[in-house]
Amino acid sequence: MRIDYDALSKTLAALTEGETDTVALMATMACELHHADDRFDWTGFYRDVGGGLLKIGPYQGGHGCLAIPFGRGVCGAAARTGEVQLVADVEAIADHIACSASTRSEIVLPVWNADGVLLGVLDIDSDRPAAFDEADAEGLARLLAATFAR
């Protein structure tokens, strides 16, 4: 099954109506995303805790890395640059942090609040190569903006 971003947007809006707690929003989104698409092997958030460091947040799937510096890996690059990281083959990334040996591709998006403050990153891993594309980047960015930048 492939994700329907428009339908998921409506579901997330209904589930999170009136909610302002960032961790509650992350937990709800991670759960809904993870079960919406069979390409998603690990789905979760790394929170910006200051000092150029990301710490594990709510997620679905196997264990994630506990901490990731902004200067390392795909998640660090998304946090450092503020740009979506679309990786077709994690083996081709020299500083990829392998939290799971099964990961073949991933997409990571920065997560901003309404004031433009970086909250962290959304990381989705797949056990399939080249699992993600620009349509995923656009759909996920819309979901993040609707949930965290409202």
With 70 as the cut, is the pLDDT of residue 130 above it? yes
118: left (phi over 0), alpha (psi -120 to 50) or beta: beta
With 90 as the cut, is the pLDDT of residue 137 above it? yes
Evaluate whether residue 1 is within a structural domain.
no
Which pairing describes strands 67-69 and 118-126: parallel, antiparallel, or unpaired?
unpaired
Evaluate whether residue 17 is within a structural domain.
no
CATH of the domain at 100: 3.30.450.40
> Do the beta carbons of residue 69 and residue 52 sit within 8 Å?
yes
Burial (CB count within 10 angstroms: exposed 0-12, middle 13-18, buried 19+), residue 116? exposed
Q: Is 13 helix (H, G, I), strand (E, B) or coil?
A: helix
pTM of the model: 0.95
**Using CA atoms, how far apart are residues 86 and 21, in angstroms rounded to an integer?**
28
The pLDDT tens digits for 27-80 are 999 999 999 999 999 999 999 999 999 999 999 999 888 999 999 999 999 999
Evaluate whether residue 18 is within a structural domain.
no
Q: Which residue has the higher pLDDT, 44 or 94?
A: 44
Domain assignment of residue 84, given as a range: 23-148
Evaluate whether residue 82 is within a structural domain.
yes
With 70 as the cut, is the pLDDT of residue 19 above it? yes
Evaluate whether residue 94 is within a structural domain.
yes
45, containing H or E segment: strand 42-48
Evaluate whether residue 68 is within a structural domain.
yes
CA distances from 62 to 1, 78, 100, 126 (A): 20, 21, 8, 12
What rounded mean pLDDT belongs to the chain? 93
Region of poorest pLDDT, from 3-7, 39-43, 98-102: 98-102
Q: Which residue has the higher pLDDT, 99 or 82?
A: 82
Tell me, what's the pLDDT at 94? 67
The structural domain count of the chain equals: 1
34's CB contacts (< 8 A; 6+ apart) are: 40, 43, 60, 61
Evaluate whether residue 2 is within a structural domain.
no
Evaluate whether residue 139 is within a structural domain.
yes
Tell me, what's the pLDDT at 20? 95
